[in-house]
Structure 1
Amino acid sequence: MKIDRIHHVAYRCKDARETVLWYQKYLNMDFILAIAEDQVPSTKAADPYMHVFLDAGQGNVLAFFEIPNSPPMGRDINTPAWVQHIAFKVDSEATLKEVMQRLQADGIEVVGITDHTIFKSIYFFDPSGHRVELAADCASPQQLQRLDEVKWEMLEEWARTRRAPRHAAWMHAQEFTPAAQ
């Protein structure tokens, strides 16, 4: 079997309507579907919910559940807030700047533009507290090739040592030589 694509990714939200409007306004996502039930189809639990689906582009779907009878949303206290996030690809750094300005104009805190060498990104939180990243690729074919060549070595070293391998340390050097790029 080979996976065709992700059908949808679902998260919990505090307010389905607010979530749909927010993703439409800031990320230009179309609202494509709503499903509401009083009973969970898979478990048969009596637990009413609103399940909303948003078009994240190129067949990707982002979905949210509002489940009002459950305890308030929280975060895994053992996982730093920067770890779990939703990342969306955009076409350019100019788009990052434009979205960042719109978010900041409405009082939404934005981290970035962060230079990851092979892409640049901004980070912010949606109304339910989910961290969102927008990323614009900027890698050269040579950079991607270098990373591809060391991915298994890096993974194996990490598995043995649980320390960051240095195979791609060139990505964080202040200046890149042509050989490093």
Structure 2
Amino acid sequence: MKTERIHHVAYRCKDAKETVLWYEKMLNFKFQLAIAEDRVPSTKEPDPYMHIFLDAGGGNVLAFFELPTKPPMGRDPNTPEWVQHIAFRVKDRATLLAYKAHLEAQGVSVLGVTDHGAFHSIYFFDPNGHRVELACPDPEEEATIQKLDAVKWDMLEEWSRTKRAPKHADFLHAREFKG
């Protein structure tokens, strides 16, 4: 048995319409469909919700639930805000920079470009407070991935024993990315 791909990833949103309009305007995601129910199909719990689905490209779907009867959204206070995020791949650096310029022109605060070695990223928050990453491949992506693949198990084993960052992949940050 093996899964084929992610069907969709779902998050909570503050306002379904605002979320659809933001993702359409900022990331050019197409609004695919909406489902609204008064009961949760899996649990039968009475709880009205709006479930929206957005086409994130390449067969990927990003979904949100608006839950008007629940307390306001919060974050896990023990998890830094940079940890939980969703990342979308873009074609190349030119596309990444075009998104950065577009988002900033719309008043969105953008962090980066950050060089991760195999890929470069920008980061920002959607109107619900979810961190979003856009990433493009580095020109040396394939070679870098091969190097990382060669050390992944050694790194995991060392981390498991020590809970300290292994140095097997220090080559990733040996260069400073400009721009």
How far apart in 1 are the matches of 2:79 and 2:24? Answer: 28
Q: Which amino acid is the alignment partner of residue 106 of structure 1?
A: Q
Report the TM-score when normalising by structure 1.
0.94
The match for 1:33 is 33
* Residues 87-166 of structure 1 aligned to structure 2 (within 5 Å): 87-138=87-138, 139-166=140-167
Q: Deviations over 1:104-148 (max 9, x none)?
A: 112111000111111001000000000000000113432221110
**Which 5+ residue runs of structure 1 have no aligned equivalent?**
176-181
Larger displacement relative to structure 2 (126-135 or 51-60)? 51-60
How far apart in 2 are the matches of 1:160 and 1:111? Answer: 33
How far apart in 2 are the matches of 1:158 and 1:44? Answer: 42
Q: Which amino acid is the alignment partner of residue 154 of structure 1?
A: M
Secondary structure of the residue that 2:152 maps to in structure 1? helix
Give the aligned length. Answer: 175
Q: Percent identity?
A: 67
The CA RMSD measured in Å over matched residues stands at: 1.0
Q: Which amino acid is the alignment partner of residue 146 of structure 2?
A: Q
The match for 1:14 is 14
The question of whether the paired residues in 1 share the 8 Å contact of 2:119 and 2:141 is answered with: no
Secondary structure of the residue that 1:157 maps to in structure 2? helix
**Which 5+ residue runs of structure 2 have no aligned equivalent?**
none
How far apart in 1 are the matches of 2:28 and 2:142? Answer: 30
How far apart in 2 are the matches of 1:114 and 1:14? Answer: 29
